[in-house]
Amino acid sequence: MTKPIISNDQAKQDKLFYVVANLIIINVADKTCLLLKRSANEKVHPEKWAFPGGKLEHADVANLLVESGNQPIDGIDNILGKLAMREAKEECGLDVSAEDAAVTKNKVFVRPDGVPVFMTILATTYQGGSVVLEEDAFTDYAWVTEPELENYDCIQGVTDEARLAIEKFCKA
């Protein structure tokens, strides 16, 4: 199958959103989650602590369609889990399972530059790898326990989401 052509040319502009997946990575062994400190040059929430994540891109969809052999109209299952898995690898060098990723929340917000965003937050467990931060995107990282979350200047909502994910995945 050849790569499909993906275009927004015929789309209604007032219906377009960035699609974003953020990922709470839980290390069950020590009951921690990974936080990344955004660099000062980020457009949204510079120097705040957050989860890895990123935008769904046309190339993601085209490549996955080719890999799966699916027709464009058939689509790709679990696209947000696959996006989160890719972003975890790109942004912090870690391996996570797309299949184990569970949606914890979704919401819509408008960035300071006016771009509307549909964001899904997923949680999954750490599978392997060592943290290697994406250059120019992040300046620091921390594996944080639930009580330590309050010590980090996080994007609004991150602390509560992390707390819930740690509790869910690390029940005694």
The domain segmentation of the chain, as residue ranges, is: 13-169
Q: What would the two tokens of residue 39 be? A: 């660099």
Mean pLDDT value of segment 41-52: 93
Q: What would the two tokens of residue 78 be? A: 């679990």
> pLDDT of 59-117, one tens digit each?
989 998 998 888 889 899 999 989 988 999 999 999 998 888 899 999 999 988 899 99
Q: Are 62 and 4 in contact (CB under 8 A)?
A: yes
What DSSP designation does 134 have?
Answer: P
What predicted TM-score, i.e. pTM, was given to this entire model?
0.88
d(CA 111, CA 21): 15
Among candidate residues 55, 51, 74, the one with its CA nearest the CA of residue 4: 74
d(CA 27, CA 155): 21
CATH superfamily of the 13-169 domain: Nucleoside Triphosphate Pyrophosphohydrolase (3.90.79.10)
Question: DSSP string of 60-104?
Answer: HHHHHHHHHT--TTT--TTHHHHHHHHHHHHHH--EE-TTT-EEE
Q: Are 35 and 138 in contact (CB under 8 A)?
A: no
